[in-house]
Structure 1
């Protein structure tokens, strides 16, 4: 059944079920009991670029989803008209993330901050030569921080070929940077247990 034809009562039920699923996922992630790398401040602290690990970032994002409205996009206008729409029948305003905007006026609570959620390309360190992996944080023009099992590298979003050539980056880095940019990733996580791509060279060391 298309979302647009779902009755409001059923939408409310689906909303409750989605919240329950997300709560279960948060509990499961909490049970992992460890961050992906040592510098991570944990899921109870604000997200920090190049510090908060993937597990904790997922927990932070899911908690943020629970704090907002969890509804089908195509049903938002119908819910707006029935829940919190204006007296003129206009849909309730939303912020730049698509969530229902908090009320504004005397006595209203301070709006919760909206954190940026960034994509990470998960790659095996086997796609790097030993020398490259060993010295990744030392290359000029690169931002890379060591993790317990590899590196977290910032992806230059503009003219990566020019950056790689200017600073003499190893040849195996640029194809990975291109893949990250094509998939809207801000970082590359080089991890010993990360994914390997058969179309790219690998090294066993």
Structure 2
């Protein structure tokens, strides 16, 4: 499942980035905002449930029983300190090695560049619809106070490009999925290697 999470996050980053890049020169999105949003929701919803649940179960300091910080009770204070130390060990294991760090760094730089350039070119929040005819309508706070407004086909494409540039923020969610998935994959691999070694010692 960790591999699926990494793959889904990478695909989300790639699709969103390519869609945003397609608006840089032509002001016309490859996939319009409504369809892109539908894909993103379908990928993010189950993936983030799995990611958050895995993190809660894996990293002690994120769990409900993570300890009692600054407690006056010596026993509780000791348990809290032990759990923090365990959490640090888990985190170091999750992101040990340069390959994982370089992959996350490169993907992070790419996502930030896509977001920054998209915002520099112009973004907007809203949605569009194509009615029979065809007739094109846009709803955004920047146009008639958010009321559905009839526009030309070229104007519709331009507005969709602005909506999609704002969707560049979805690459950051994909980045979190890749980072979390790689960390969990590394942790599970380390656990799989250590378990036979412990059994052999017994």
**TM-score where L is the length of structure 2:** 0.27
* Higher relative helix content: 2
Structure with more relative contact order (C-alpha pairs < 8 Å, separation 6 or more)? 2
Larger Rg, first or second structure (1 or 2) = 2
